């Protein structure tokens, strides 16, 4: 089972939903990075359960511990291990599905592939694993901050409710002002009400998270198989419940002529190459061009619902699966920091890969202590 991501900035996550702890080992982080513990904890707090009535009521402090790789507030260049203890497991909530396969869960596929599975909260297939990603992603954000890269995500859709305003016209900081993490307060309230209504019905609903990355240097990404947008797509599709990824103009671009879609170029007042439009989403030929990178990530409705569903058990018998436990009726509010974390991991890895070979990266990194 592969639990490692990245080529130079590598992360390996470990732990299960109802095990002792979940955590991450980061290998390849440069030495000399200021390790801001309060920032990393604040990112974990954005993801943790029990934030509001429309999230799972599992209560976890999600306070992280550093086991290695940090000395006197700075990274040492050696592997960094971070861990979060699990505290509020209710494994008995899952005893009834020990031999049953829940619809649209990983129960059947894990059993078919490995021969057994940890049925408590989904074990390794649980979104609890994303705690580790957010911790590592927060460290990646600290590195990106030093080169002027900023990543912001927000909820743009819940069910059929859509925020259609272009991100350039939104104050994305407002996303953190409400439980849904939508930067339009009026739309956010409608989304909240829809999620809460869905929760009361014992059902779940899907949504979309938008991500905007500003300040990306030109030249990140590799031609052919390691294109920047391809790696971003892989990273996003590795997140639990993700069913779709599109960047730039995405599927809407097929409705345009090339004369409309092409991003014409010009030199700005600083003699930099810029584009008049950005249908490319900040990536051309698989390499960043310095414009904003923006993409959308679609999340399915959470598979666990508080309603009876038909299924089969490990012996092939027909059964009725009853929903129990504590689950999000809609995953997107808590998915926002996860999307940002995975985006940060992709960009840091490409940046470090560029430092040895890219003229642009060498110029940017010349003033950095690492």
Is position 46 annotated in a ligand binding site? no
pLDDT digits 0-9 by tens, 269-313: 999 999 999 999 999 999 999 999 999 999 999 988 888 888 888
* Confidence (pLDDT) at 116: 81
Q: For residue 151, what pLDDT is reported?
A: 98
Q: How high is the pLDDT of residue 19?
A: 84
The upper half-sphere exposure of residue 212, i.e. CA atoms within 13 Å in the direction of its Cβ, equals 18
More confident residue, 52 or 332: 332
296 is in an annotated binding site: no
124 annotated to a ligand binding site:
yes
Residue 243's SS3 state is: strand
Which pTM value belongs to this model? 0.92
Whether 112 has a binding-site annotation, put simply, is no
- pLDDT for the residue 351: 96
Residue 132's pLDDT is what?
96
The stretch 43-59 carries a mean pLDDT of 80
DSSP designation for 169: G
Average pLDDT of the chain to the nearest whole number: 91
Owner of token pair 């694993």? 129
Task: Inform me whether the pLDDT recorded for 110 exceeds 60.
Answer: yes
Flag whether 126 is marked binding.
yes
130 annotated as ligand-binding: no
pLDDT digit string, tens, across residues 333-366? 999 999 999 999 999 999 999 986 665 556 656 6
The pLDDT > 90 percentage for the chain reads 71
Confidence of residue 118 (pLDDT cuts 50, 70, 90): confident
Do residues 300 and 288 touch, judged by C-beta distance below 8 A? no
89: pLDDT strictly greater than 60: no
DSSP bridge partners of 92: none
pLDDT attached to residue 325: 64
Q: Is 240 annotated as a binding residue?
A: yes
The whole-angstrom distance between residue 268's C-alpha and the CA centroid of its chain comes to 33
Is 58 known as a binding-site position? Answer: no
């Amino acid at each position: 089972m592969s639990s490692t991501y990245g080529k130079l900035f590598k992360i390996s996550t470990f732990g299960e939903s109802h095990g002792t702890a979940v955590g991450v080992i980061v290998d390849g982080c440069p030495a000399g990075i200021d390790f801001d513990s309060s920032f990393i904890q604040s990112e974990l707090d954005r993801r943790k359960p029990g934030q509001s009535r429309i999230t799972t009521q599992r209560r976890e402090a999600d306070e992280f511990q550093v086991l290695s790789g940090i000395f006197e507030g700075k990274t040492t260049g050696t592997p960094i291990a971070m861990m979060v203890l699990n505290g509020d497991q209710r494994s008995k909530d899952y005893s009834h599905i020990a031999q049953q396969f829940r619809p649209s869960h990983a129960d059947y596929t894990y059993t078919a592939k490995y021969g057994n599975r940890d049925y408590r909260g989904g074990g390794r297939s649980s979104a609890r694993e994303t705690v580790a990603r957010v911790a590592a992603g927060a460290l990646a954000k600290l590195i990106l901050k030093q080169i002027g890269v900023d990543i912001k995500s927000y909820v743009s859709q819940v069910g059929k409710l859509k925020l259609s305003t272009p991100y350039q016209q939104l104050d994305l900081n407002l996303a953190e002002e409400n439980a849904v993490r939508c930067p339009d307060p009026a739309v956010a309230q409608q989304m909240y009400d829809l999620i809460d209504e869905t929760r009361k019905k014992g059902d779940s609903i899907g949504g979309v998270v938008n991500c905007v990355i500003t300040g990306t240097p030109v030249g990140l990404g590799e031609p052919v198989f390691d294109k920047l947008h391809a790696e971003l797509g892989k990273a996003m599709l590795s997140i639990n419940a993700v069913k779709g990824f599109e960047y730039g103009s995405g599927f809407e671009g097929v409705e345009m002529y090339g004369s409309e879609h092409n991003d014409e170029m010009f030199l700005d007042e600083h003699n930099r190459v810029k584009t008049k439009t950005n249908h490319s989403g900040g990536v051309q030929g698989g390499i960043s061009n310095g414009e904003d990178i923006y993409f959308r990530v679609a999340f399915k409705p959470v598979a666990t619902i508080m309603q009876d569903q038909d299924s089969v058990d490990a012996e092939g018998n027909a059964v009725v699966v009853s929903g129990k436990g504590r689950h999000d009726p809609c995953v997107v509010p808590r998915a926002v920091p996860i999307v940002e974390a995975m985006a940060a991991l992709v960009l840091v890895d490409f940046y470090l890969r560029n430092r040895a070979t890219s003229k642009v990266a060498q110029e940017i990194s010349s003033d950095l202590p690492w």
